[in-house]
Structure 1
Amino acid sequence: MEEIKNKVAESGLVNFDISDLVPKGKRLGIDIKDFLWEGQILREKDFREKIKNLDPELYKDAYVYIYCSEDVIIPLWAYFLITSKITDETKKIVFGNREDLEVLLMHNSIQTYDFSELRDKRVLVKGCSDELIPNNAYVELVEQLKPIVKSLMFGEACSNVPIFKN
């Protein structure tokens, strides 16, 4: 009987799962609408009082995005006040929606990751993930890998899409 060989393992192909770069931790949004008078108008005195009563512990070790779900004008100092109230407790705060937060977090992860272990390797970037991976992360990943890897593929070992070969 002939021995069963794992051709993928023997190929020297390195699997890279981009979801490993997703920072772990809870994500929380702060809707400025909740701090407005009748959900429409920012009255400084009322706004400051609501910020004063905001419990920073709710955001401990969280990644926070600040947004406004209503189409109203918010002065920039309002974002300053919220950020200054909770910044000592959070891991990161951004202005924007959840997707904006994920784009920034992945950008930071990709820019700080040490890809040297992939130098001159044949790399397969895993195609499916249970994590929310912004499309921009894949763009940035290729940008980082192209100068150092021997070849890059996307998908699964049994059905990958060749991207480039050096």
Structure 2
Amino acid sequence: MSDLEIKNKIAESGLVNFDIATLLPKGKRIGIDLKDFLFQEMILKEKDFREKIAALNIDDYKDCYIYIYNSADAIVPLWAYFLITAQITHVTKKIIFGNREDLEVLLMHNAIQTYDFTEMMGKRVLVKGCTEENIPLNAYIELVEQLKPLVKSLMFGEACSNVPIFKN
């Protein structure tokens, strides 16, 4: 029997594995449909609208990411969005107008823009291809923008099977 040592060539290669899903902010996401605050889901009556907003249980939104949208075929004045935002903004993590996808794009944008990538300076970086999280495609584009001037090379996929993206 020989004393052959098993080497992990991937670990020795100096390759930095980066999982973009680690940047995804944790927390509950809640959608608020303004149609639920409208009279017959069609008409905004200011007094009724204000009463419904005032009756919100703000604890339901504590430390959550909120997206406000309107699924009704009704015109909602801009001040209505101000009013609902003012009611819950002090307990939420973030509020946006739009759908869940819009929220996720913005959250990932903010995460990528504020992440310190300097630890990857001059390194060979592999962005993990498979993740259990639903990552907006735009996040990958922004990630390449951030990494291009920093890293020696960028690859996408898994260590055993990756696609070279660029070399500096």
**Alignment TM-score, normalising by the size of structure 1:** 0.98
The match for 2:26 is: 24
Partners of 1:80 and 1:150 lie apart in 2 by 46
Offset at residue 71 of structure 1 (A)? 2.5
Offset at residue 3 of structure 1 (A)? 2.0
Residues 1:161 and 2:143 aligned together: no
Gapped runs of 5+ residues in structure 2?
none
Partners of 1:155 and 1:72 lie apart in 2 by 45
Aligned counterparts, 1:135-146, within 5 A: 135-146=137-148
The match for 1:107 is: 109
CA RMSD of aligned residues (A): 0.8
The match for 1:117 is: 119
Partners of 1:51 and 1:82 lie apart in 2 by 6
Residues 1:52 and 2:21 aligned together: no
- For structure 1, which segment, 156-165 or 37-46, has the greater mean C-alpha deviation from structure 2 after superposition? 37-46
Q: Which amino acid aligns with 1:162?
A: P
Residues 1:129 and 2:141 aligned together: no
**Alignment TM-score, normalising by the size of structure 2:** 0.96
Partners of 1:33 and 1:127 lie apart in 2 by 39
Q: Runs (4+) of structure 1 moved beyond 6 Å?
A: none
Partners of 1:71 and 1:14 lie apart in 2 by 50
Partners of 2:103 and 2:73 lie apart in 1 by 20
Partners of 1:94 and 1:132 lie apart in 2 by 19
Task: Please state whether the residue corresponding to 1:37 is helix, strand or coil.
Answer: coil
Residues 1:90 and 2:104 aligned together: no
% identical aligned pairs = 75
Task: Please state whether the residue corresponding to 1:46 is helix, strand or coil.
Answer: helix
Gapped runs of 5+ residues in structure 1?
none
Aligned counterparts, 1:8-87, within 5 A: 8-87=10-89
| Cα-to-partner distance string for 1:52-86 (whole Å, 9 max, x where unaligned) | 11111110000100011122211110100000000
The match for 2:150 is: 148
